[in-house]
Amino acid sequence: MASKPHRVVAAIDFGTYGTGFAWTTVSQDNSEMRTRRISFFEDWEDQKLSYPKNRSALLLDAEGRLLSWGYQAVTQRDAMPAGAGWRLLTGFKMSLQRNLGSGDTVSGDAGVVLVGDAPDAFRLAVLCMEQVYAKARDHITRGAYQESDIRWCVTVPAIWDQYTRDLIYKAAVEAGLPNDPERLLLAQEPAAAALYCTARGEALLSTPGTRFLVVDAGGGTVDITSYQVAGNGRLNELAPASGAKTGSDYLNEAFMNEVLVRRFGLAVISRILRDQRSAIAGTMDAWERAKRSFSADSADDLVIPLSAPFYAALVREKASGRWDGSGEPVTEVVVSHGLVASLFDQRIDETIGCVEQQLREMRSASGVTGGEIALLVGGFAESPYLRSRLGDRLADRGVRVVVPEQPSIAVLAGAVHFAYNPSVFLTWRAPFTVGIKISLPFREGHDPESKRVIGYGNRELCDDRFDVFVVNRAAVLTSEPITRTYWPLREEQTAITIRLFSTTMKNVEYVTEQGVELLGSLTVDLSASMDRRVGERAVEVAMHLGQTHIRVEARNIHTNEPQSATVQWNPTW
């Protein structure tokens, strides 16, 4: 029994475009995943329309103070007094991992400038999560539950590295969520989606031996993972998550640049973006809806009605003589089927490439080819065009594509299932070889002379040896940490610094080899054990590799005090 049982599990889906939460109560009625009753929140304050997610957007004043968030921030931005210097910020989630961010460019993400400044992204993520956490906490505890009854789960893209996962954990804690690994979990988005599909009754996903891919096509990224159903219905990951920044936001950017700018001129669009951002946002919302109905089955062109304020702004541009667009202002733009298809194809081809790579990996890991299922989830999964292109391509490879009834809530609902019972995942696949730097007995004729050192008791040792905890692609049990014991090298040593390294290589001997990167370090104090012999000053290192949020703990065995709970991860980019 846990020291403090959780009575509610709640998930926060912190998305590139929107953020929402859902929860369920821990009870007999909810013990079965298939019949579990999940509650979704849809009544955001100041949001005229009910919707399960609010916008991941923040409006800050000139001093950086929060004015509003969500949809309210988007609409309030247009009411900015002249010269007030307010900033509307969105897209900060993807900027947390800089190599996945969109840089300093203007995005078509509903006409709002994406955050290009990565250092700001952490603070903005904290601010946004503060809002959604406060709303979720207040809502769930308005009845008989207390905040301490709740186990929380925050979703993260599977392709985020450990540094960024650690960053989002810290952001969540700074936003007010509990700093307790038992009460604050991180869920890989595609893994959560897999649970949603299982819960929704996709029978094969409970059949032992079934192998399936999850393709989570969201706003910013496409995340792909693969699993095999174990004998007890639990899931073994077959290959580390992969993916790319080929989410639907990039189609929005293409629509902005390839359609709107070409049609109405860059100067006109820039002025409207500057003066009346929500006018463009309304049109981008219409495009968002249009692209979700774009299908390969029909040759019809796509009609995108411009928002009334956007049309009015175009008319004013024309009347002022600053018009540099083609033709007259119009109330809708008609985009040819061919052009839309080409915009889609650019991104879908990349997505298909990633899916095929994952398929090869899962087939190699399982030793079986054919008969797989591909679950397509996420907001972009609602696109009939994506479904049919992916379906056609994968059908040729013996893979059946399945889209759940509500792909857009799959991650959120699945994260609730994950928080309810994280042990449903039996094993993960290590995304890299990970280990620590140690000294081992020197091997004459094998180890380089430059690495020869003299240790305690005049023993000849080889420095910089890579002590492997887990090999790249190896299956790692989610329930048990990997533990090792180490001793100081020298008599006078009052601390041991554990340095963690990773590499994609499966065979590695020294941490100085090409392609080996320092992940982080932690230091264990030995000063309380200096009265003991060196052989009694042992330090135990436990690596919790089986969890979404990898943790490394080290303790002085003599004092039994953990010195550092988590490692300071370094970015891999």
Partner 1 sequence: MRVSLAGEDGPRTRLLVDGGNGTVVLLEEWMSRVATDFRGLAADVDELRRQSAEIRQELSTIITAFNEERHWVRSLPRESADFRQRLEELDQRLNNVLDLFEKHFGGSGQTEQAMLHHEYAAEYLALVEQKILALALDVLADGPALPRDKAALVAAVCLDLFGYPEIQEQRLMDRLQHNRSVNVTRRIEEICSDARLLRQKASLGRQQRWDFGYTRGLPVDEGRQEMWPGSVDGGLVDFVVAPAYLVDSDTLLKKQRVFTATTDAEGAREHAGGAGEHPDWQSSAAGAGRAVQDLP
Q: How far is the CB of 219 from partner 1 (least distance, A)?
A: 15
Q: How far is the CB of 362 from partner 1 (least distance, A)?
A: 29
Q: How far is the CB of 6 from partner 1 (least distance, A)?
A: 10
Which residue lies nearer to partner 1 by CB, 279 or 374?
Answer: 279
Which residue lies nearer to partner 1 by CB, 239 or 304?
Answer: 304
Does 408 help bind partner 1 (rule: CB under 8 A)?
A: yes
Q: How far is the CB of 177 from partner 1 (least distance, A)?
A: 19
Does 518 help bind partner 1 (rule: CB under 8 A)?
A: no
Phi, psi of 468 (to 5 degrees): -75, 125
Residue whose structure tokens are 């706003």:
219
* Window contacting partner 1 (CB under 8 A); options: 117-125, 357-365, 405-413, 535-543: 405-413
Q: For partner 1, which residue of 334, 518, 528, 565 counts as binding (CB under 8 A)?
A: 334
Q: Could you give the CA distance from residue 390 to residue 377 in angstroms, rounded to a whole number? A: 12
Residue window 35-64: x/- pattern of binding to partner 1, with contact defined by CB under 8 A: --xxxxxxx----xxxxx------------
Which residue lies nearer to partner 1 by CB, 25 or 242?
Answer: 25
Q: Could you give the CA distance from residue 13 to residue 157 in angstroms, rounded to a whole number? A: 10
Does 339 help bind partner 1 (rule: CB under 8 A)?
A: no
Helix-helix angle 277-293:70-77, to 10 degrees: 130
Q: Could you give the CA distance from residue 420 to residue 9 in angstroms, rounded to a whole number? A: 6
Which residue lies nearer to partner 1 by CB, 56 or 95?
Answer: 56
Site residues (CB under 8 A) for partner 1, limited to 62-101: none
Does 318 help bind partner 1 (rule: CB under 8 A)?
A: no
Residue window 288-307: x/- pattern of binding to partner 1, with contact defined by CB under 8 A: -xx-xx------xxxxxxxx
Q: How far is the CB of 332 from partner 1 (least distance, A)?
A: 6
CB 287 within 8 A of CB 252: yes
CB 196 within 8 A of CB 408: no
CB 166 within 8 A of CB 520: no
* Angle, CA of 126, 132 and 134, to the nearest 5°: 95
Q: Could you give the CA distance from residue 95 to residue 73 in angstroms, rounded to a whole number? A: 19
Q: How far is the CB of 293 from partner 1 (least distance, A)?
A: 4
Does 428 help bind partner 1 (rule: CB under 8 A)?
A: no
Closest listed residue to residue 313, CA positions, set 344, 281, 276, 362: 276
Q: Which amino acid is at 91?
A: G
CB 499 within 8 A of CB 436: yes
Sheet bearing 57-60, strands edge to edge: 66-69, 57-60, 87-90
Q: For partner 1, which residue of 335, 413, 550, 552 counts as binding (CB under 8 A)?
A: 413
Q: For partner 1, which residue of 86, 145, 456, 510 counts as binding (CB under 8 A)?
A: 145
**Which strand (E) or helix (H) includes residue 427?**
strand 425-429
Q: Could you give the CA distance from residue 176 to residue 170 in angstroms, rounded to a whole number? A: 10
- Residues in contact with partner 1, counted by CB under 8 A, come to a total of 55
Does 341 help bind partner 1 (rule: CB under 8 A)?
A: no
Q: How far is the CB of 445 from partner 1 (least distance, A)?
A: 56
Q: For partner 1, which residue of 148, 179, 207, 331 counts as binding (CB under 8 A)?
A: 331
Phi, psi of 348 (to 5 degrees): -65, -35
* Window contacting partner 1 (CB under 8 A); options: 62-70, 392-400, 404-412, 549-557: 404-412
Give the ranges where 489-573 is alpha helix by DSSP (H).
Answer: none
* Angle, CA of 471, 542 and 417, to the nearest 5°: 80
Computed from CA positions of residues 385, 390, 391, 393, in that sequence, does the dihedral angle turn out positive or negative? positive
Q: How far is the CB of 55 from partner 1 (least distance, A)?
A: 15
Residues in contact with partner 1 by the rule CB under 8 A: 1, 5, 7, 22-23, 25-30, 37-43, 48-52, 139, 142-145, 286, 289-290, 292-293, 300-312, 331-332, 334, 382, 405-406, 408-409, 413
